[in-house]
Amino acid sequence: MSLVELIAQADERGLAASGLASLDRCLPLLGGDDELLRPLWASLADGSDWGSGLEKARDALGSARPDGEGGTDEAGRLARRMLDAAPAERGADAVRVWADACSVASLRIHRLLDPAAEDACGDDGLDAGRAGNTGDLPPLVAAELRRQVTVLELLAEHGPQGLRRALDVSVEGRRVLRAVVSRRARGTALPGV
């Protein structure tokens, strides 16, 4: 099933996890602590207040803006918009719009940072990838797309019990993105994803 279909069929928890996972993987661009979004993950598991966790995350990052180190200026702005656009209430309609926007933003971020992309994959390519045609995606973008699909499938198949594994997928993606950003800052290429 394509990512677009998975987003269309996901319930409120799956959508919130999808958007949160995309944001979580891009956290290195915001300079946030790896634990910054844990209260939001916990709220998905136990039904606690999503809004207060979101406010704490925004407060922790304050008005800090990405510094552009290693050519990540635009990618950082996209990541910041994901956090700023997160809905304070986890209603299905608002979360669906946010999850879809986070999906697109995260794929754009990975395209911007993928040394193999070099205009090989524009927005049309990202749209095609989200619809299931992944043949022309550069490696970093294709890996991010797989992570997005995996998160939604985990929540669809396992409900709240899939959250732990979805978080693990996000942590792995965050490590990959952190390595890419670090290598770009040093001016070296990433050998593979």
Residues 6+ apart with CB under 8 A from 67: 73, 76
Nearest to 21 by CA among 169, 179, 129: 169
- pLDDT tens digits, one per residue of 54-108: 999 999 987 555 544 444 589 999 999 999 999 999 999 999 999 999 999 999 9
Domain ranges (residues) in the chain: 3-186
- pLDDT tens digits, one per residue of 176-187: 999 998 888 887
Output the average pLDDT for the chain: 88
Nearest to 107 by CA among 125, 88, 83, 93: 125
